[in-house]
Structure 1
Amino acid sequence: MGVVTKRSTMTFFSDAASHYSHRVRIVLAEKGVTVDIIDTDPLDLPEEVCELNPYNSLPTLVDRDLALYESKVMMEYLDERFPHPPLLPVYPVARGESRQFIYRIERDWCHLVDAIIDGKDAKAAEKARKDLTDSLLTIAPIFGEKPYFMNEEFTLVDCCLAPILWRLPQLGISLPQTRQSKPLLDYMQRLFERPSFQESLTEQERELRTQAASVA
């Protein structure tokens, strides 16, 4: 086993195209953390990642002697390590609800996003695209109840949703401009205009919207 060089600053090995890496980058930007972000090819991982992460996966966050390799764990770690601004509610019940929302996003939506992006099974990808579109439109009205997802403040739940919603053009999903969808479209605009979100974007991610606009 090789010797891993200890870093003096926090390092984030990020897949520039992955929504799982993107969610962590949003948290880092929201917190204003000084971090060395290294865009990494998931098919050609540096030795350091392989040494620190038993799953040889991205994203991987390194903070001195600590290595984290699960995005939800990273987000909560960063929220506790850098408490301001808080991205989880203070009270236990509300914190539990936020964690449950994140769990549901992963169970209900993330696997659909992954199936569409993977694209190896065209029939499965098309079904996932329809299921994700239908699900988004079904819950669209609840985004009109509060500025952010079920909350007055921006939270980790929004950090998980924003990368998915930003990728809708890449996923082949175009939400209709209807009264039902308007609360969701307004929510998306609020997310995308946040300075932390803009700062979190890689060039690859910016091109997703640029390409969609040029096609339109």
Structure 2
Amino acid sequence: MVVAVNKRSVMTLFCDTTDIYGHQIRFVLAEKGVTAEIEFVKAGNLPQELLDLNPYATIPTLIDRDLTLYESHIALEYLDERFPHPPLMPVYPIVRANSRLTMYRMKREWYRAYQTILADPDSDVAKIARKNLLDDLVAISLIFKEKDYFMSDDFTLCDCYFAPLLWRLPLLEIELPKVAEKNYLSYMARIFERPAFINSLTEDEKKIRL
């Protein structure tokens, strides 16, 4: 978090059109009904304004007046606290902590696998990452027979973490086995047909599942 040099009157998100972390933030913005400017940029060609505000020169970066956030999970929780309705985190501290731990594990294990696969899809390390990710997705598929959302009866930030990854499975050349896919079908329909999710998709992201 840094103090912005140039204050903006409208919340602004700088992100790439296909960046999975930017998708998370756009999903939450849409879910909250927040009016924000979305500026699509490329990592290698960032505007000077963003370079002045973000010492790491990374995207996504969320700017809200004099506040600049350049870590996606912090931006997500900030949005949930800044715009409390509808709430996307559990009320009880233990459940809330478990949700944070779940998102941390998604980022550490599944998102890391996602980035490894995209970096060099045909490499041996990508093949291992693809298999590990598929195995994990199959292992948790039974959850969706019991819960409407990710380990919960309610829609939460965990879904905002998980849905962008699930949407990108074709990009990773990951195909769920029929039994596991059947468990996911209702969940995917429930999430992917959600107006906020549809509105969060860029044209490039829509092409992933054409």
For 2:201, give the aligned amino acid: L
Unaligned runs of 5+ in 1: 211-216
Q: What's the counterpart of residue 208 of structure 1?
A: 208
Contact persistence 2:61–2:68 (CA under 8 A)? yes
Aligned residue for 2:169, secondary structure, equals coil
Question: Which of 119-128 and 162-171 deviates more?
Answer: 119-128
Contact 1:52 1:67 in 2 (8 A): yes
Query: What residue in structure 2 maps to residue 169 of structure 1?
Result: 170
Q: TM-score, normalised by structure 1?
A: 0.92
Distance 1:208 1:120, change over 3 A: closer
Give, in whole Å, the separation in 2 of the partners of 1:181 and 1:173. 11
Q: 1:177 to 1:121 in 2, by over 3 A?
A: closer
> Which secondary structure state, in structure 2, belongs to the residue aligned with residue 154 of structure 1?
coil
Partners of 1:105 and 1:64 lie apart in 2 by 30
* Cα separation, 2, equivalents of 1:170 and 1:120: 10
8 Å CA contact retained: 2:116, 2:125 = yes
The C-alpha deviation readout for 1:7-53, integer Å capped at 9, x for no partner, is: 11000001111111101110000000010001111110111111111
Matched, 1:132 2:136: no
Aligned residue pairs, count: 207
> Percent same amino acid at aligned positions?
53
CA contact (8 A) 1:141 1:181 kept: no
SS of match in other structure, 1:185:
helix
1:19 aligns with 2:31: no
> Residue 193 of structure 2 corresponds to which residue in structure 1?
193
Q: Give the alignment of 1:20-169 within 5 angstroms.
A: 20-119=21-120, 122-169=123-170
Question: Runs of 4+ in structure 1 displaced over 6 angstroms?
Answer: none
Distance 2:146 2:15 in 1: 34
Matches of 1:146 and 1:157, distance apart in 2: 13
Q: Secondary structure at the match of 2:170?
A: coil
Distance 2:178 2:122 in 1: 30
Q: Considering only aligned residues, what root-mean-square deviation do their CA atoms show, in Å?
A: 1.4
Partner of 2:182: 182
TM-score between both structures, scaled by the size of structure 2: 0.95
Say which SS state the counterpart of residue 174 (structure 2) adopts: coil
Unaligned runs of 5+ in 2: none
